[in-house]
Amino acid sequence: MSTLVLSHRLIFIRHGETDWNAEGRLQGQHDVPLNAKGRAQAVAAGKQARAYISRLGLDDVRFIASPLGRTRATMELAREAMGLDPFTYELEPRLMELSFGEWEGLIWPEVQQREPGAARARERDKWRFQPPGGESYAMLGERLRPWLATVTGDTLIVSHGGVARVLMAMIGGVPVRDAPLADIHQGRVLVFENGRRAWL
């Protein structure tokens, strides 16, 4: 995948932890709420984003979230921590997490036990593998590409781990073979700029 170079900053926050995250379950597009740790992570990320935006003197930052409950809650807690109206932001369905289809709710050892061949196929090529009834990272990239064309200024988004991995390949200079393996931290801010990415 060729790297797109944006002419502005894309500030990324992953939603805070949920109980399914803590249990290692494939969450996908299931609407699982934040737990107490996740709410604290959202506040921490908001404070980090506020410091970054203030330091650079960025004006007119656009705020956009995935419509799932965990991302909306993270955005609202983060904006409140930034001293902003918690509810003044946009929703974008194309920022929803990668769908794991029939595997959602399972932990990886359960997938390996139920569908060992498919589990091995995913390990061989995580970028292109499509779970039954779900999406591949490559398909998520096709969903995100037209959305990226609508982002014309400095933007802060709250989205998901899979989305961050695809953005790493699309606008962060990470090879597609490596992007699905990247750790995407909760409670921290990731900035994409000039074809590169950096954690604050």
For residues 55-76, one letter each, b for 16 or more C-beta atoms within 10 angstroms of the residue's C-beta and e for the rest, the string is eeeeeebebbbbebebbbbbbb
Q: Is 160 a catalytic residue?
A: no
**HSE, side-chain direction, 13 A CA sphere, residue 87:** 0
Q: Which of 17, 76, 92, 97 is catalytic?
A: 97
Do residues 186 and 17 touch, judged by C-beta distance below 8 A?
A: yes
Q: Is 8 a catalytic residue?
A: no
Active site residues: 15, 97
